Amino acid sequence: MTPAEILDSLFPAGHDVTTDGDLLFGRARFGDGIVHVVGATGRAPIGIDQAIRLSAAVLQIASSDDAAPILFLVDSASQRMSRRDELLGLSEYLAHLAKSLLLAEARGHRTIGLLYGGSAAGAFIATALACGTLVALPGAHPEVMDLASMARVTKLPIDVLEAKAKTTPVFAPGLDNLVSVGGIATVWDAGTSLADQLQTVLATPRAGDDRATLGAERGGRPAAARIAGAVATAAQG
């Protein structure tokens, strides 16, 4: 689905979301209220310029008292790994964007990421995974790290990583694996009303970060929730 098709299905009552290059900004009528919309689209990499503009939009919403949710549409490449962006502190810009989303959630604005295309590495972490709830459309292709990059970092042969990826979802890119480890809460049905599916998400209370629990229930990350719980208990004692 294109961004225009997604927005039309999400907001049949209308919206004022506009595009600015590969970014989206605006808001839409939804039920008796509104939904704020931001987005990174077009499979474009996210550099410092995009990150600071997205952060500014999120912080402006966070400073408002409307308690309206934020929907973050995501279809990007990795972060922009240019000399300029790296020298100017790209990692700090991405961290600032992620913290802006966390702040918005803490101030009462539900943050829902909608991954409908690609995203990878730091750009994926600072946008989609930084949202309180992440959903996806069929055909989305997330990558925390692609196997070729993982091979360079770990010094393991690519065929070894490919074999591990078949049985261990945390090694593997792709939609099914991110669902299995709990990173993606649910995959929406593109053939039915996205508005109804968004309403279901908003109607479901969110009590903390449940991704490790989902990963355990789905068998993709069986130990994370148990270990985190044990650490929390030990810290309280």
Tens of pLDDT, residue by residue over 110-150, are 999 999 999 989 999 999 999 999 999 999 999 888 888 88
- Which residues, 6 or more positions from 10, have their beta carbon under 8 angstroms from its beta carbon? 28, 30, 35, 71, 194, 195, 198
The CA–CA distances, whole Å, from 108 to 57, 65, 76, 103, 222 equal: 16, 9, 27, 9, 31
In a domain, 229, yes or no: no
User: pLDDT confidence of 209, banded at 50, 70, 90?
Assistant: confident
Distance CA 220, CA 228 (A): 16
Give the domain extent around 121: 3-138+188-206
Give the mean pLDDT of 180-207: 93
User: Helix 158-167 crosses helix 147-154 at what angle (to 10 degrees)?
Assistant: 120
The CA–CA distances, whole Å, from 78 to 43, 45, 74, 82, 110 equal: 9, 5, 11, 11, 25
Tens of pLDDT, residue by residue over 29-80, are 998 899 999 999 999 999 999 999 999 999 999 999 899 999 999 999 889 8
In a domain, 172, yes or no: no
Q: State the CATH number of the domain containing residue 116.
A: 3.90.226.10
Q: How many domains does the chain have?
A: 1
In a domain, 77, yes or no: yes
Nearest partner of 125 among 80, 174, 183, judged by Cα: 183
In a domain, 163, yes or no: no
Distance CA 225, CA 212 (A): 5
